């Protein structure tokens, strides 16, 4: 009797776990996957988002929504690539720019790391009817994020530097200060927006999609 009872409990637990796994992700959960994929460049979230969207990507030639390998490569090279662009806007000789490069690379490594510290919460989806095809469901998912709030952002720094006529030592000192500002920035910068999602009513399971997520998920103003 005891073994039979244990077996029944095990089967019931398995059935419950299966039903939980089979539950369709909510619009909030889908928005969270998009945010973590784009803001945090989180590999697991990108892979989960690809797996979730795959059933809806049926047109010939459509691959996964996100090229995970490419995204991770861009993330890896971000600091060096942005440092090169930054140095193009610095009024120093080529030799001095080369000497300033390590400090600039560290600056943008800190900028990227600060981006990955952003925290977000999702609100209740708001149904959208205006301009929506009869065969579609559409919602806007409000989200609120707290982002690092550095003492100075990159564009403001370059504008200040442009009129300062700094030498190499002064540039290095100020770039290092800017980098430390991003590293230690408190999460006090508020970012609020609504993330639009749509799905076809007749297709089951529902797959909530947004083909242009970066129109909403843009962290550039938070940093630059």
The closest alpha carbon to 51, from 39, 68, 74, 71, belongs to 68
Average pLDDT of the segment spanning 36-50? 98
pLDDT value of position 22: 54
- Is residue 151 a contact partner of residue 181, using CB atoms and an 8 Å limit? yes
pLDDT value of position 23: 76
pLDDT value of position 3: 37
| Domain contains 5 | no
Assign 63 to helix, strand or coil: coil
CB atoms within 10 A of CB 46: 24
> 32: pLDDT confidence band, cut at 50, 70 and 90?
very high
How far apart CA 201 and CA 174 sit, in angstroms, is 55
| Domain contains 17 | no
| Domain contains 10 | no
pLDDT value of position 59: 84
Please give the model's pTM, rounded to 2 decimal places: 0.87
pLDDT value of position 36: 99
Assign 91 to helix, strand or coil: coil
Condensed to tens digits (0 to 9), the pLDDT of residues 69-83 reads 999 999 999 999 999
Domain span at residue 59? 27-223
The closest alpha carbon to 111, from 39, 43, 159, belongs to 39
| Domain contains 204 | yes
pLDDT value of position 8: 41
CA distances from 168 to 80, 93, 153, 160 (A): 19, 9, 20, 15
| Domain contains 85 | yes
| Domain contains 190 | yes
Q: What mean pLDDT, rounded, does the chain reach?
A: 91
pLDDT value of position 17: 39
Least confident interval from 4-8, 48-52, 195-199, 219-223: 4-8
Percentage of residues of the chain with pLDDT beyond 90:
85
Residue position matching structure tokens 């390998």: 69
Percentage of residues of the chain with pLDDT beyond 70:
90
Cis peptide before 108 (omega within 30 of 0): no
Assign 3 to helix, strand or coil: helix
Average pLDDT of the segment spanning 176-189? 98
**Residues paired with residue 147 on neighbouring β-strands, in sequence order:** 189
pLDDT value of position 24: 87
pLDDT value of position 62: 82
| Domain contains 1 | no
Counted domains in the chain: 1
| Domain contains 86 | yes
Condensed to tens digits (0 to 9), the pLDDT of residues 124-181 reads 999 999 999 999 999 999 999 999 999 999 999 999 999 999 999 999 999 999 999 9
Residue with the bigger pLDDT between 24 and 153: it is 153
**Residues paired with residue 197 on neighbouring β-strands, in sequence order:** 139
Condensed to tens digits (0 to 9), the pLDDT of residues 55-69 reads 999 888 788 999 999
């Amino acid at each position: 009797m005891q073994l039979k009872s244990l077996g029944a409990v095990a089967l019931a637990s398995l059935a419950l776990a299966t039903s939980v796994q089979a539950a369709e992700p909510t619009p909030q959960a889908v928005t969270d996957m998009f945010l973590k994929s784009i803001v945090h460049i989180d590999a697991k979230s990108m892979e989960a988002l690809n797996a979730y969207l795959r059933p809806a990507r049926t047109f010939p030639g459509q691959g996964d929504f996100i090229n995970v390998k490419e995204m991770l490569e861009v993330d890896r090279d971000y600091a060096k690539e942005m440092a090169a662009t930054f140095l193009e806007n610095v009024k120093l000789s080529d030799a001095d720019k080369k000497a300033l490069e390590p400090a600039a690379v560290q600056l943008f490594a800190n900028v990227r790391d600060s981006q990955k510290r952003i925290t977000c919460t999702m609100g209740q989806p708001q149904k959208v009817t205006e301009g929506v095809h009869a065969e579609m469901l559409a919602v806007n998912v409000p989200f609120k994020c707290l982002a690092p709030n550095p003492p100075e952002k990159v564009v403001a720094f370059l504008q200040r530097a442009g009129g300062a006529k700094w030498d190499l030592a002064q540039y290095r000192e100020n770039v290092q200060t800017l980098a430390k500002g991003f590293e230690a920035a408190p999460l006090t910068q508020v970012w609020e927006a609504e993330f639009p999602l749509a799905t076809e009513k007749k297709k089951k399971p529902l797959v909530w999609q947004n083909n242009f997520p970066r129109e909403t998920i843009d962290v550039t103003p938070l940093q630059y």
